[in-house]
Amino acid sequence: MAQNLTPRLQAAATLVRGGGVLADIGTDHGYLPIHLVKTGKINKAIAADIGKMPLENARKSVEQNALSDKISLRLSDGLKSFSPDDADEFVFAGMGGTLIAEKLSETPWIKDEKYHFVFQPQSRAEELRQFLYENGFQIEKEIATHEGRRVYIAFSAFYNGEKTEYTYADCFLGKLLPTEDAKNHIEKQILRLSDRYNSAALSEEESKTLFETINKLKGFTND
Ligand SMILES: C[S@@+](CC[C@H](N)C(=O)[O-])C[C@H]1O[C@@H](n2cnc3c(N)ncnc32)[C@H](O)[C@@H]1O
């Protein structure tokens, strides 16, 4: 039986292009690659993690599912232990957007049209989107979902070298569609930005940007 995924990981799985070798960076338990191989969406996977214990968790799950011939394990900080031909698709799920952007920026060879990316940032998604806009990546599709009261977002992207002109609001909205989950997510971002707007000592320009961004995000939630 395919590994059942939580809505958060299911959103990431839905965005996977499939068909090739997928590298799951920060895999921990390995549930995502196991699910994707079992459902036939991918042929092979590399389950990678910076930590020995998480990788041990993944090893156990892979062995329990008799998938050692299809899913290999790799100790790696981001993509540092990867070569350009190791995988066609990369998933970064369950890490902060700041960390994901940092790991991407350490790896110049990922700027290649042949790769497909799926991101599920746990926080600071705006920093990851900003990195993608500035570095020639295109956001393809976004999904918002929830587990209990917590909303999660996931999005797919590819590189084509064309930088995207963006406003600060675009960094929060990406290609989210105005679903109930997406609106809830944006409402939380409005609260966060409003706190900053009200409490921090801001320059006139920062204040103006925050004011405009909050208004644009409110427009999305009222859609
Ligand atoms: C919260 S878990 C997410 C597990 C799984 N991807 C998911 O979404 O359910 C985050 C994992 O990322 C790993 N991690 C943190 N920093 C990393 C890095 N620089 N490179 C690779 N893995 C990293 C952690 O060891 C941990 O296992």
Average pLDDT over residues 162-168: 98
Which pLDDT score is estimated for 200?
Answer: 72
- Ligand 1 pocket member 33 (CB < 6 A): no
Give the gyration radius of the chain's Cα atoms. 18
pLDDT in tens, 38-94: 999 999 999 999 999 999 999 999 999 999 999 999 999 999 999 999 999 999 999
Structure confidence at residue 127 (pLDDT): 98
Q: Is 28 in the pocket of ligand 1 (CB under 6 A)?
A: yes
In the reported structure, the alpha carbon of residue 112 is separated from the centroid of ligand 1 by a whole-number distance in angstroms of 24
pLDDT in the model for residue 81: 98
Residue 113 pLDDT: 98
State yes or no: pLDDT of 1 exceeds 70.
no
State residue 21's pLDDT score.
Answer: 98
